[in-house]
Amino acid sequence: MERLISVEEAAELLGTTTRFPRRLISERRIRFVRVGRHVRIPVSALESFVADGTVEPISIRWAGGKVVSG
């Protein structure tokens, strides 16, 4: 079984307050599991959320005083 973490632990891993993962849960933007009255988040759900939000840098160069990608 996959490791499940609390909202507090998720917030600590993301470097946010607990309000952020709670909002993700309420907006159904992240997978979560209900264990009785408790809400737990699979570690893979956090990894997927971070991966989906990761923006890779692009290389830019200047040509004729303008920025061109490539």
pLDDT tens-place string over residues 6-49? 999 999 999 999 999 999 999 999 999 999 999 999 999 999 99
| Angle, CA of 54, 8 and 37, to the nearest 5° | 115
Pairwise CA distance, residues 43 & 59, whole Å: 32
Contact 63, 24 (CB under 8 A): no
CA dihedral over 31, 19, 52, 40, signed as positive or negative? negative
pTM to 2 decimal places? 0.78
Number of domains in the chain: 1
Supply the range of the domain harboring residue 13: 4-69
